[in-house]
């Protein structure tokens, strides 16, 4: 029996893909290896969203040279967005790489690995046509990292073409799965003990299958018995509708959480990015969401150092963060991506300024995060327990519906259970409390 090891980089879509890939491989007689050194097949499921992410993977791949010299039969494969983007370049750069397979071809991965092993030939498979997979994988419980929380893909790809973003070119145009297929998959997971589903799409707010939009999917999925919670990521502000917000507000099982990246607070930069909204419109949407879904928590992404971003543009972003009072923000330093529209613009903000702006935004947000959490002290919150904390196993961690992380002490492992926790302390990252029996 051959053993496989997968390294996963990038977003939740990649985490799900790795699970599905592993499922397919287990079905095909593979076993899971605990580490690289005991694996016969080593796979890297990768991300291209920033150059830094790619360089890290190349350096990890390079470091496998010795392993491949010692065990030439080991198959080393590159998967994910970098495979789709780099194609033959990856084989040119890493001589000991055997296989390059893009995200649309995972269904035939077992065959590709076999071909690389049997023929001792390099294999590249990155076509977007013909075999394009629509997400219909058999979910294999053995491949899951946990049974009570699972991801389900509702669509893949993105048609938006934000000027800085490589995702549309590596993940292709939008294809949405039929609602019935999504619901069947959720039912199967719920029957196996799943309590929380996170629906995934690169730009999930553009889901469309026949007459169905995301709101239809959410309503139907939230009715699946056994399920306590439904989440969805990632939302694009230009497509978040009143109907979606009302659906969130009207259904207890749909989690009151929106990951809705703003990217910038400067209207000029937003226009250059091709985002389709202004800072004012974005803030209006945040307020509207809070009115319709009182418990809602909103998280956002920002890019600092987009070409031509002046101190004034940056100031506008800092202002937006102060006004929006997000639960959390992810801040990224602009990285020019080949083939994108912004690639033709001069990447003229220095690395130093990017770093400085990055740190400033994080500092502003961290004060807001801490203050927002202080407001919750004294409240009793419902928490879905994820299990023991990595650093302190006597503590359990979990999340509220609106995505606050809660830590509490417990002698028992309560993973997968819904518990009530009374909050008595807070840091910028987590809430602490005591479990209520
Ligand atoms: N599908 C998601 C975003 C996927 S990429 C959405 O549309 O919301 C995740 C985040 O990476 C983006 O929100 C953006 O903030 C950041 N990002 C994308 N391209 C980037 C680039 N070229 N440089 C730096 N950050 C980038
Ligand atoms: Fe990229 Fe924009 Fe599509 Fe998000 S909406 S994946 S940022 S192109
Ligand atoms: Fe990265 Fe691809 Fe996800 S570029 S962010 S792994 S869709």
pLDDT in tens, 86-140: 999 999 999 999 999 999 999 899 999 999 999 878 999 998 775 555 556 778 8
- List residues bridging with 209 in a β-sheet: 212
Across the range 336-356, mean pLDDT stands at 98
Angle at 105 between CA 101 and CA 108, to 5 degrees: 100
Q: State if residue 102 touches ligand 3 by the CB under 6 angstroms criterion.
A: no
Q: What is the reported pLDDT for 134?
A: 57
Looking at the CA of 13, which ligand is closest? Answer: 3
Q: What is the reported pLDDT for 427?
A: 87
User: How close is the Cα of 250 to the center of ligand 3, in Å?
Assistant: 32
Across the range 299-319, mean pLDDT stands at 98
Spatial contact of 187 and 142, defined as CB atoms under 8 Å apart: no
Angle at 23 between CA 171 and CA 46, to 5 degrees: 35
Looking at the CA of 300, which ligand is closest? Answer: 1
Cα–Cα distances in Å, from 30 out to 4, 75, 92, 253?
7, 13, 28, 37
Average pLDDT in the chain: 95
Q: Is the Cα dihedral 269, 271, 272, 275 positive or negative?
A: positive
The strand pair at 395-399 and 405-409 is best described as: antiparallel
What is the share, in percent, of the chain residues with pLDDT greater than 70?
98
Q: What is the reported pLDDT for 19?
A: 95
d(CA 423, CA 431): 7
Q: What is the reported pLDDT for 135?
A: 58
Across the range 261-281, mean pLDDT stands at 98
Residue 192 CA from chain centroid, whole number: 23
- List residues bridging with 185 in a β-sheet: none
User: How close is the Cα of 20 to the center of ligand 2, in Å?
Assistant: 23
Spatial contact of 123 and 130, defined as CB atoms under 8 Å apart: no
pLDDT tens digits along 314-336: 999 999 999 999 999 999 999 99
Looking from the CA of residue 333, the nearest atom of ligand 1 is 24
Spatial contact of 12 and 202, defined as CB atoms under 8 Å apart: no
Q: Is 61 helix (H, G, I), strand (E, B) or coil?
A: helix
d(CA 209, CA 153): 14
Mutate to test the pocket of ligand 1, among 9, 15, 49, 240 (most ligand atoms within 8 A of CB): 49
Task: Show the domains of the chain with their CATH numbers.
Answer: 3-125 (3.40.50.12160), 141-372 (3.80.30.20), 380-436 (2.40.50)
**Contacts of 381 by beta carbon, 8 Å cutoff, 6+ apart:** 400, 404, 406, 420, 421, 423, 431, 433
> Running DSSP on this structure, what letter comes out for residue 135?
S
What is the pLDDT confidence band of residue 414, given thresholds at 50, 70 and 90?
very high
Please check the confidence at residue 371 and state whether its pLDDT lies above 90.
yes
Beta strands in 313-401 (DSSP E): 328-333, 380-388, 395-399
Please check the confidence at residue 259 and state whether its pLDDT lies above 90.
yes
User: How close is the Cα of 34 to the center of ligand 1, in Å?
Assistant: 32
Looking at the CA of 302, which ligand is closest? Answer: 1
Cα–Cα distances in Å, from 241 out to 40, 220, 238, 289, 294?
48, 18, 8, 9, 16
User: How close is the Cα of 299 to the center of ligand 1, in Å?
Assistant: 14
pLDDT tens digits along 353-369: 999 999 999 999 999 99
Give the residue among 307, 301, 306, 310 at the shortest CA–CA distance from 361: 301
Helix and strand counts by DSSP (H, E) for the chain: 14, 21
Which stretch of DSSP H or E encloses residue 285? Answer: helix 279-292
Looking at the CA of 261, which ligand is closest? Answer: 1
d(CA 154, CA 186): 11
Please check the confidence at residue 191 and state whether its pLDDT lies above 90.
yes
**Contacts of 424 by beta carbon, 8 Å cutoff, 6+ apart:** 377, 378, 432, 433, 434
Mutate to test the pocket of ligand 2, among 103, 159, 163, 167 (most ligand atoms within 8 A of CB): 167
Q: What is the reported pLDDT for 133?
A: 55
User: How close is the Cα of 348 to the center of ligand 2, in Å?
Assistant: 22
Phi, psi of 254 (to 5 degrees): -85, 115
The token duo for 109 is 């991965």
Spatial contact of 361 and 318, defined as CB atoms under 8 Å apart: yes
CB atoms within 10 A of CB 218: 24
The reported pTM is: 0.96
User: How close is the Cα of 16 to the center of ligand 3, in Å?
Assistant: 12
Lowest-pLDDT range of 132-141, 224-233, 292-301: 132-141
Q: What is the reported pLDDT for 145?
A: 84
Mutate to test the pocket of ligand 2, among 155, 157, 202 (most ligand atoms within 8 A of CB): 202
What is the pLDDT confidence band of residue 266, given thresholds at 50, 70 and 90?
very high
* Nearest residue by C-alpha to atom 3 in ligand 3: 11
Q: State if residue 167 touches ligand 3 by the CB under 6 angstroms criterion.
A: yes
Looking from the CA of residue 81, the nearest atom of ligand 3 is 2
Q: Is the Cα dihedral 379, 298, 45, 24 positive or negative?
A: positive
Spatial contact of 68 and 55, defined as CB atoms under 8 Å apart: no
Who lines ligand 2 at CB under 6 A?
158, 160-162, 165, 167-168, 202-203, 236
Q: State if residue 83 touches ligand 3 by the CB under 6 angstroms criterion.
A: no
Phi, psi of 278 (to 5 degrees): -105, 170
CB atoms within 10 A of CB 412: 9
Q: What is the reported pLDDT for 428?
A: 81
Across the range 244-253, mean pLDDT stands at 97
User: How close is the Cα of 354 to the center of ligand 1, in Å?
Assistant: 15
* Nearest residue by C-alpha to atom 12 in ligand 1: 301
Q: State if residue 23 touches ligand 3 by the CB under 6 angstroms criterion.
A: no
**Contacts of 218 by beta carbon, 8 Å cutoff, 6+ apart:** 199, 230, 232, 244, 247, 248, 251, 254
d(CA 383, CA 405): 9
């Amino acid at each position: 029996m051959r053993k496989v090891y997968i390294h996963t980089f990038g977003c939740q879509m990649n985490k799900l893909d790795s699970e599905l890939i592993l499922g397919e491989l287990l079905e095909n007689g593979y076993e899971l290896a605990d580490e690289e050194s005991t694996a016969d097949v080593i796979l890297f499921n990768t991300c291209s969203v920033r150059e830094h992410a790619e360089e890290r993977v190349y350096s990890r791949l390079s470091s496998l040279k010795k392993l491949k010299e010692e065990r030439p039969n080991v198959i080393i494969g590159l998967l994910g967005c970098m495979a789709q983007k780099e194609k033959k370049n990856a084989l040119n750069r890493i001589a000991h790489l055997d296989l390059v397979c893009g995200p649309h071809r995972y269904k035939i991965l077992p065959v590709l690995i076999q071909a690389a092993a049997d023929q001792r030939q390099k294999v590249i498979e990155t076509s977007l046509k013909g075999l394009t997979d629509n997400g219909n994988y058999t979910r294999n419980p053995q491949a899951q990292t946990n049974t009570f929380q699972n991801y389900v893909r509702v669509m893949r790809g993105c048609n938006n073409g934000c000027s800085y973003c490589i995702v549309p070119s590596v993940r292709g145009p939008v294809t949405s799965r039929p609602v019935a297929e999504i619901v069947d998959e959720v039912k199967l997971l719920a029957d196996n003990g799943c309590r929380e589903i996170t629906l995934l799409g690169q730009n999930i707010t553009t889901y469309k299958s026949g007459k169905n939009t995301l709101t239809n999917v959410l309503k139907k999925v939230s009715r699946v018995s056994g399920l306590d919670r439904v989440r969805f990521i990632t939302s694009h502000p230009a497509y978040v509708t009143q109907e979606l917000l009302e659906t969130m507000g009207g259904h207890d099982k749909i989690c009151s959480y929106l990951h809705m990246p703003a990217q910038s607070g400067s209207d000029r930069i937003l226009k250059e990015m091709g985002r389709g909204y202004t800072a004012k419109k974005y803030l209006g949407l945040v307020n509207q969401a809070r009115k319709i879904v009182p418990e809602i928590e909103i998280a956002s992404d920002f890019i600092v150092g987009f070409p031509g971003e002046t101190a004034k543009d940056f100031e506008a972003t800092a202002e937006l963060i102060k006004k929006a009072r997000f639960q959390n923000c992810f801040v990224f330093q602009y990285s020019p991506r080949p083939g994108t529209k912004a690639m033709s613009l001069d990447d003229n903000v220095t690395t130093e300024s990017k770093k400085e702006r990055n740190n400033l935004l994080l500092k502003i947000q961290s004060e807001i995060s801490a203050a927002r959490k202080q407001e919750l002290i004294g409240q009793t919150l419902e928490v879905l327990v994820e299990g023991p904390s990595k650093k302190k196993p006597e503590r359990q961690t979990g999340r509220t519906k609106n995505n606050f992380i809660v830590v509490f002490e417990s002698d028992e492992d309560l993973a997968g259970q819904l518990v009530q926790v009374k909050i008595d302390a807070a840091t910028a990252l987590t809430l602490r409390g005591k479990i209520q029996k």
